[in-house]
Amino acid sequence: MTQGFVSLVGAGPGDPDLITVKGLRRLRAADVVVYDALANPELLRECRADAELIDAGKRAGQPHRSQAAINALLIAHARRGRLVVRLKGGDPFVFGRGGEEASALAEAGVAWEVVPGVSSAVAAPAYAGIPVTHRAVASSLAIITGHEDPERSSTRIHWHALAQGVDTLVFLMGLGRLPTIAAQLIAHGRPADTPAAAISCGSTAEQETVVATLATIGEAAARAGLAAPATLVVGEVVRMREQLRWFDTLEPLAQPANAVYVLHDS
């Protein structure tokens, strides 16, 4: 091979079983895997023994590679004729900066593809027993970043439209800003008693869910000591958790075996 290829692969929300079949095939075939902090490390066991594994995770308060450096890394390995997997938590194009990486690859003339993944925006609520849409209470859904580009001087978030025009709101990466997010929504017309849920480490054994109102969710999440990554859900669908919660009520023996042990097929 004279020219390499880059696959932007979504690893899913945390449970390694939730990677797609295509994503798993790409991971097993890769010469180089550039992985994020949110991708479950169990998935790296699926890589070839001779594959080069490169940690490109960004962790709060710690040194990390810049996005420009990651882009350059993908391009350099592809130009050496290698099959490269960029393994990203959730879905590459849902607040994963996959669009930026795809643009850099396209501009460099490198062949690439995107392998969509299961986003925590829908998976974390689902594992908490919260359907993000429901015919009886929610016909619209918005997924919003809880952490905008710090280099921007103004927000792109239209708070009034979100507060009054969308049934279910899902905020990603906003654990540290829960009080601010709630205050903005209330100030722009969302009732303070709207049900809200904060879900930490969704779809993993460490998953924890706190349910409160929009006015109290920040305090409730802080009191519970929720850890990042966390997903905030705002809307009437949160009330359905009382009936539909399933994952955190399963007995250990009732939970299916983790598929990473099954995936090592011959």
Catalytic residue list:
36, 58
Distance of CA 226 to the CA centre of its chain: 16
C-alpha separations of 70 from 28, 35, 66, 75, 133 in Å: 21, 10, 6, 9, 36
Strands (E), 61-126: 83-88, 111-115
What 3-state class would DSSP assign to 4?
coil
Per the CB < 8 A criterion, the answer to whether 173 and 146 are in contact is yes
Return the number of other C-beta atoms located less than 10 Å from residue 135's C-beta.
7
**First CA to last CA distance, the chain:** 26
Distance CA 42, CA 257 (A): 14
Per the CB < 8 A criterion, the answer to whether 91 and 211 are in contact is no
Per the CB < 8 A criterion, the answer to whether 84 and 5 are in contact is yes
Distance CA 234, CA 244 (A): 17
Distance CA 22, CA 187 (A): 44
Burial class (CB in 10 A: 0-12, 13-18, 19+), 119: buried
